[in-house]
Amino acid sequence: MTEQKSNIPIKGYATFDPLKHCLIGSGFKTEWFSDLDIYKNDKIMDPLKRIADETEEDFQILEKILKQAGVKTYRSSVDIEKLKALQDLRPPPVTPRDYFAVIGEKMHCVNVPHDVMNTFQNTLDQIDKDCLLIDNSRQAWKEPMSTANIVRIGKRLLWDMGVVPKSTMVTDYIKKWQSEGFEVITSNRGYHSDGCFCVVKPGCIVSLHDVQDYKKEFPGWDVLYLQDQGWKKVYPFLEIKKKVKGRWWLEGEEHNDQFIQFVNTWLNDWVGYVEETVFDVNMLSIDQNTIVCNNYNKEVFDHFKKHKVEPVIFHFRHRFFWDGGVHCVTQDLYREGKMEDYFG
């Protein structure tokens, strides 16, 4: 008798509830290019191989960190053996956070591009259809709905909708979530919230200065402002910034014009917008007392210690190429907990 696989459970009410099931991103393989002329061009292939190998190495390290914490992990991948032409390239599923939103006990797939859905299909197939809500009918709203810009704090949802006015889709989902008991607060700042502030646990936030009106939205909470986290941290990026329009960076390749032209031409859909994630607040809570972060920062670690939070360092070497920290390259599928009111 064939053993039947159990479905992946879906639940998420707060970013700091105990994490039990998590999707981790996947990159690409240089073997995809082996039949193409560029495979013999070391100026292009050496950086590509470095990105491919080190991205996978880092994802395996992250997977080990989460498994040791009792989290069941899942990986999706692009099914390509060899490319016949560069036009056949598809973006690998590196940043699942940017495409999906687990709100309550539903996983929303809203306006996710067809090729992106395909790269995550093997994971989506393991989710009970009653928990998976796919909605690609909202073309007036171009961006996928995601927990990169929806912050979940129990009963309260902070949803940044970008710089566009409210659409029918937004209004419909606000009404839907309100009927489920959520309080929805919207904004139009136009960036991924998880690159700008992190709700670590009830009462504790790490943020770039003046990102939110914290006195209004988080009254009485202890907010650490990282005012001195700026371009000096990624100074070599300034040498390449104009060439790549601020969208990506691979350290050491600031003057490799062949590689820069190749990425700008053929990998345009792979890279994001690195300027919004220069700062190290893109973090993933395993629970209220454990958080995975990108590197060491004395101010942040002192803030963690004050709130009895243990940091675990995960250094994602190519976060400035993929435009994603540890929060971006994961998608929590199931967290324990229920709808709590942290502001009542």
CA distances from 304 to 108, 123, 197, 268, 307 (A): 31, 33, 14, 37, 5
State residue 52's pLDDT score: 92
Mean pLDDT value across residues 50-72: 95
> What percent of the chain lies above the pLDDT cut of 90?
53
Kindly indicate the confidence band of residue 1, based on its pLDDT and cuts at 50, 70 and 90.
very low
State residue 296's pLDDT score: 80
pLDDT in tens, 276-286: 444 468 899 99
In the numeric block, which tokens belong to residue 191? 């960036």
Paired residues of 28 in beta bridges: none
pTM for the full predicted model: 0.85
Interhelix angle for 257-266 vs 42-68, to 10°? 70
Kindly indicate the confidence band of residue 261, based on its pLDDT and cuts at 50, 70 and 90.
confident
For 289, phi then psi, to 5°, come to: -120, 5
Cβ contact 86:133 at 8 Å: no
d(CA 104, CA 127) in angstroms, rounded, equals 15
State residue 144's pLDDT score: 86
State residue 140's pLDDT score: 55
The one-letter code for the residue type at 342 is: Y
> What percent of the chain lies above the pLDDT cut of 70?
83
d(CA 180, CA 62) in angstroms, rounded, equals 34
d(CA 132, CA 145) in angstroms, rounded, equals 13
Nearby residues of 216 by Cβ (< 8 Å), 6 or more positions away: none
Q: Does pLDDT of 215 surpass 90?
A: no
Q: Does pLDDT of 11 surpass 50?
A: yes
3-state secondary structure of 240: helix
Mean pLDDT value across residues 153-182: 87
d(CA 317, CA 179) in angstroms, rounded, equals 42
pLDDT in tens, 22-59: 999 999 999 999 999 999 999 889 989 989 999 999 99
pLDDT in tens, 179-211: 999 999 988 877 778 878 899 999 999 987 767
State residue 242's pLDDT score: 62
User: Can you give the residue ranges of every domain in the chain?
Assistant: 19-335
Helix (H) or strand (E) holding 123: helix 121-124
User: In the CATH hierarchy, which fold is given to the domain comprising 19-335?
Assistant: L-arginine/glycine Amidinotransferase; Chain A (3.75.10)
Kindly indicate the confidence band of residue 245, based on its pLDDT and cuts at 50, 70 and 90.
low
Closest by CA to 171, choosing from 154, 159, 163, is: 159
